[in-house]
Amino acid sequence: MHSNNPGNKIIRHGDHIQLNFGGFVSLSTVDWRGRSACTVFFRGCPLRCSYCQNEAIQTGSDLRDIEAITDMIMTSSPFISGVVFSGGEPTLQKEALLALARFAKKQHLAVGIQTNGQFPATLEALIAESLADRIAIDYKTRWEGFSSMPGDHAPVPRDNYQKNIKKSIAICKKALREQVIREFEIVITVFYENEEYIKEIAAQIGTIPLVLQQGEHKIGNLQATASDISHGEYISKRRSLQELHPPLTLAEIKKIADELGRTVRIRTREAGEITYESDWRCRDARKRQR
């Protein structure tokens, strides 16, 4: 990257870098536990999870010069200690993410990455330059389906995603062990249907911190199946389906956690985020007291 260029533009390999922009939150106290941060959303994602909170930025184009994004970060900088890059999928836009992470570090801001783990090479590049302090991988279970709808990106085969996320986890585990990154966690969005996969993932990741996140029931992409449906009709039908299939309660997620034999964090709308020690730990404690 050359700093002495006309207009102070960020250049990489001779090309001016732009970001396919998804949005910006100037101050957040929920995206990074224990920190105030701003959050930059990257537009575009190769996965199509029907419960996605940010489905509006899964596709489309809103190209912005990187300098427009760094200006946003600088406006927030007096009030924050970190920057979170989310999406969409931030690691899909490798050069833009690297450029923004370098900028954040130069401002003495910590860098957090929220990713689905599909692009391990981007995580490797971030770690190689010590550009990330916290990485959270949102692990998609096999039940959820990974294929894209027709649009910006080719479909993602299930085997391809499984291979890539295992690489991403291995890269992050090594970086955590070597203290290149300070925080690493796996996040799983929980539904009735993916309980068996949660057990497999928990066994696979070992002692990595695990977050079980309350999810809305998987429903079909109504806009894809009925192209002439109005936005109002889409919202109405989606709400009706969600009422028929409500999210798991905190008590129900605790029951799933009890089967994992480990401490987890649980995120729900009603309780926020809590640390939960499953029954196995309580039983062991009672045995030691006898």
Q: How confident is the model at residue 53 (pLDDT cuts 50, 70, 90)?
A: confident
For the record, the structure tokens of 78 come out as 């007096």
Better-scored residue on pLDDT, 262 or 192: 262
* Rounded-to-integer distance, Cα 225 and Cα 130, Å: 44
Question: What's residue 226's pLDDT?
Answer: 45
Question: What's residue 281's pLDDT?
Answer: 57
Question: What's residue 1's pLDDT?
Answer: 39
Closest CA to 273 of 29, 49, 27: 29
Question: What's residue 12's pLDDT?
Answer: 52
CA 136 to chain centroid: 6
* Rounded-to-integer distance, Cα 258 and Cα 263, Å: 9
What is the CATH number that goes with domain 6-289? 3.20.20.70
Question: What's residue 195's pLDDT?
Answer: 85
* Rounded-to-integer distance, Cα 289 and Cα 72, Å: 55
* Rounded-to-integer distance, Cα 177 and Cα 90, Å: 24
* Rounded-to-integer distance, Cα 113 and Cα 16, Å: 23
pLDDT in tens, 229-241: 566 776 676 677 6
For the record, the structure tokens of 51 come out as 């419960």
pLDDT in tens, 14-51: 468 999 999 999 999 999 999 999 999 999 999 888 77
Count of CB atoms within 10 A of residue 217's CB? 17
What are the strands, taking DSSP E only, across 76-153? 82-87, 110-115, 134-138
* Rounded-to-integer distance, Cα 167 and Cα 117, Å: 8
Cα 122 to Cα 83, 168, 267: the distances in Å are 17, 9, 27
pTM, full prediction: 0.83
Question: What's residue 2's pLDDT?
Answer: 37
Closest CA to 194 of 140, 246, 155, 151: 140
Question: What's residue 192's pLDDT?
Answer: 82
**What's the residue count for the chain?**
290
Average pLDDT, integer, range 108-126 = 97
Cα 173 to Cα 120, 208, 259: the distances in Å are 12, 8, 24
Average pLDDT, integer, range 217-245 = 60
Better-scored residue on pLDDT, 183 or 228: 183
Largest Cα–Cα separation, the chain: 74
| Mean pLDDT score of the chain | 85
Question: What's residue 262's pLDDT?
Answer: 93
Question: What's residue 8's pLDDT?
Answer: 46
DSSP classification of residue 4: S
pLDDT in tens, 135-152: 999 998 876 655 544 444
Q: In a 10 Å sphere around its CB, with 0-12 CB exposed, 13-18 middle and 19+ buried, how is residue 5 labelled?
A: exposed
* Rounded-to-integer distance, Cα 27 and Cα 30, Å: 9
Hey, where are the domains in the chain? 6-289
For the record, the structure tokens of 134 come out as 């916290």
Question: What's residue 260's pLDDT?
Answer: 93
